[in-house]
Amino acid sequence: MVGPPRGARAPVSDQQPSTSNSAVQRALATLQHFLHVEATSGIVLLFAAAAALLWVNSPASHSYHGLWNLPVPLRLGEFEFVRSLHFWINDALMTVFFLVVGMEIRREIHEGALSRFDQALLPVLAACGGVIVPALVYLSFNSVAGQSHGWAIPTATDIAFAVGVLALLGRSVPSNVRIFLLALAIIDDIIAVLIIAMFYSGGIQPGGFVVAAIGVLSAFGLQRLGFRSALMYLVPAFIVWAGFLIAGVHPTLAGVVLGLITPVRPSGAETVPPVIRVEAALHPWVAYAIMPLFALANAGVDLRSIEFAGEAKFVALGIGLALCAGKPIGVIGATWLAVRSGVCRLADGVSWSGICLIGLLAGVGFTMSIFIAMLAFTDEKLLDAAKFGVLLGSLISVTLGIGWGAEYAQRQRKARS
């Protein structure tokens, strides 16, 4: 995600703007582009999820499952690797999604909301509260073995939907509220990546890490040799992905690793750093193609056959409440404690009404929540219940966010008039 500007210094002269001003202008332009893409992506995601639900609950539901289970082979000479279309979407295409996430994190640490301790501390604490409380809410309903494995499902925020709701509210929402939400979502992504790596990886095979390390070293070698074309890095990227797959770590995390090692400074004749150039090129593909395709392939829950008896009922209830109630309580509560204790302070233009809006929108899990659900549960009944809980909790969070946000935006407009 694009880093917010850290403030501009006055130009050295009328003719020669400082390097700092150029960086700020570039950050502003990139931020505006990012917000536009994410806002539109939220609408596309909504249609994709609705299409999946309609499709799987129609008389043609058999074609929905048949399509994603279609075997798709990868052949390299005599070598053949056959997996379902569902696998290639979730484990291969989503690697590009995580690549963009890694680049967003890398750039934020370099020059954005995570580059300074005083700027990053409050959203970090808020994000931690937004992870801990939902997990506790979920576990209060699902403490038994098998169900408890889904504790991380309601801990992530879907930035596309959240930014989409902010876009609906118009420009009355202060810019620092938007920046706080973006920073919170980035930190959520970092925590989600760490959770997947530590708690949702299979039996670790050390040999796979050797293969991944070869891919990372190859990427560093190409950087040192001055290769700027992204196509040159496809082979190292595939090696890292294959290494993680062999190691038993979810292969999409290869995208995060590659994103984190993308250079943040231009070299040679470059005017735009590779991390910005590549992210800008991939972001629309991720927002308008990969994420909606993921939603279409995974949001299909057959409401006619879903069972809300026994353990499935508590999985759905735990996730739904954790998202629409646990997330806001965690985010708002952690922010209040940090400010009340004097450790942090709210940025200019950020009121407690704005923090409440951020907390409500943080409950929109969707993409990352469904992704973690598929790692947490192999039982189809529990997985369907988890997806239903994600959809229900996210829908309630969006509804509450729009309702509160409309009132908040109206108050902001009156205060300015």
pLDDT of residue 23: 54
CATH number at residue 288: 1.20.1530.10
Q: Does 27 reside within a domain?
A: no
Q: What is the pLDDT of residue 12?
A: 42
Q: What is residue 11's predicted lDDT score, i.e. its pLDDT?
A: 42
Residue 231 lies in a domain: no
Residue 371: how many other CB atoms lie within 10 Å: 25
At 132 the pLDDT is: 95
State the total domains in the chain: 1
Does 236 fall in a domain?
no
* pLDDT at residue 379, rounded to an integer: 87
Nearest to 193 by CA among 93, 110, 98, 122: 98
Residue 376 CB partners (closer than 8 Å, separation 6+): 149, 150, 152, 153, 200, 386
User: Residue 324: inside a domain, yes or no?
Assistant: yes
Report if residue 276 sits inside a domain: yes
Query: Which domain does 279 fall in, by range?
Result: 35-69+84-200+250-416
Residue 292 falls inside a structural domain? yes
Residues composing the chain? 417
> pTM of the entire structure?
0.78
Tell me the pLDDT of the chain (417 aa) as tens digits.
Answer: 334 433 333 444 444 444 445 555 555 555 555 656 666 777 788 888 889 989 999 998 899 989 999 999 888 777 888 999 999 998 899 899 889 888 888 887 887 767 777 778 899 999 999 999 999 999 999 998 889 999 999 988 887 777 778 777 777 788 788 888 888 888 888 888 889 888 887 667 888 999 999 999 999 999 888 888 888 899 999 999 999 989 888 888 899 899 989 988 887 777 788 888 888 888 889 888 898 898 898 888 888 777 767 788 899 999 999 999 999 999 999 999 999 998 888 888 888 999 999 999 999 988 889 989 998 998 888 999 999 999 999 999 989 998 998 888 888 887 776
pLDDT at 267: 76
Please check whether residue 133 lies inside any domain of the structure.
yes
Q: 348 in a domain, yes or no?
A: yes
Structure tokens at 384: 């369907």
- Chain centre to alpha carbon of residue 6: 23
Say if residue 385 is exposed, middle or buried (CB neighbours under 10 Å; 0-12, 13-18, 19+): buried
Instruction: Check residue 239 and give its pLDDT.
Output: 94
Torsion angles phi and psi, residue 50, rounded to 5: -65, -40
